[in-house]
Chains A and B, each alone.
Chain A
């Protein structure tokens, strides 16, 4: 088994603390709620579907806004649906991109079925096999703090699994208006809506 004990809301709040110019993309389900619970921000881009796309959206953003740190916060199930993206990202390795998988080893939205991660597949080792400059599993808050430092250092593509508990927390729901969220994000970067 591969299950963690960290409080996911505390871990995500730590990652997003004093966020500065950080751009955030969130995977559908609990990671979106965690980021919203830590404080809504125009530079949060919440996904509500397109499962498997959190990493690729963050990747495109990191390849475009190269001076800013970009953080993808997603779940183990969402990441599993887009595993090939790890190989695609590894071809470019934008140094400003960090992927944080909030890994509870379960599909939390659908009844807490065990995920592959919960059955022992360590996702960060896949990123390691793809030669990400940094990859690892984080099991304590000191590790989360260190990852926060790594995000802002922009010193190499990083991939972390953060081993959290599988408690069901109160939902904190961001807007489901994807157009509004997109336009708000672009406006905060000084971009036109179309």
Chain B
């Protein structure tokens, strides 16, 4: 196999994640990933407590490996509604409806899904409701699959073109403060705010055992 010469877990993981572009959890790699996620506490474990501190009640997502801890812990939390989406723009409509009804939510997705959201972002622009997006990046740094690169490289510019405020975390210690900042501006200002979680941030943990 192509990656055998690397002989390392890190290459194996890189290939698995690249093939399962949306971070499906299956196979040998998953066992290791889960052990790592459960034993090392890092920025991944900060995300959900911060969302809950902003009274987020709905966590909606198209899954990605970088969001796996937040999704799993949210699904175990009886105070939260979690919802898998078939495509990311469903989350924009769903969260607009939640806000109409008086509750807050957050949309977890991968950078490739930002392209799916472009036209639907008009809903936020025209009605102004708090839209908090957490976007794990692909095609951003050390990407194995070049098919991820076009959308990954256009992600932040696309969001900005549609009026979404963006911040970017490439170091674990930046995730908490930037997420709190984005959530504050979304919920205090009825704004669309996206935190981009850099591929390097995710790679640092997954690829180095």
Contacts and interface: CB of A to CB of B under 8 A. Distances in A.
A85 B85 CA distance: 8
A60 B92 CA distance: 10
Interface residues on B, range: 35 or more
Contact of B94 (A60, A182, A189): A60
A59 B128 contact: no
A186 B100 contact: yes
B76 interface: no
Interface stretch (B117-125, B169-177, B196-204): B117-125
B101 A85 contact: no
B84 A60 contact: no
B150 interface: no
Interface in A146-192: 178-179, 181-182, 185-186, 189, 191
Interface of B: 57-58, 81, 83-87, 89-103, 105, 119-120, 122-123, 126-129, 188-190
A49 B123 contact: yes
A151 B57 CA distance: 26
Given A88-B90, A189-B102, A64 B120 contact: no
Contacts of A51: 119
Contacts of B58: 60, 63-64
Interface in A59-87: 59-65, 82, 84-85, 87
Interface of A: 23, 25, 45, 47-65, 82, 84-85, 87-88, 91-92, 178-179, 181-182, 185-186, 189, 191, 194
A12 B125 CA distance: 29
A44 to B, nearest CB: 11
B91 to A, nearest CB: 8
A60 B103 CA distance: 9
Contacts of B100: 45, 57, 60-61, 64, 182, 185-186, 189
Contacts of A45: 100
Contacts of B127: 178-179, 181-182
Nearest to B126: A178
B86 A87 contact: yes
A189 B97 CA distance: 13
Given A64-B98, A88-B85, A182-B129, A194 B93 contact: no
Contacts of A60: 58, 93-101, 105
A108 to B, nearest CB: 20
A60 B87 CA distance: 15
A48 B120 CA distance: 11
Nearest to B103: A64
Contact of B92 (A25, A53, A88, A178): A53
B101 A189 contact: yes
Contact of A57 (B96, B105, B128, B189): B96
A194 B188 CA distance: 7
Most A-side CB within 10 Å, residue of B57, B89, B90, B100? B100
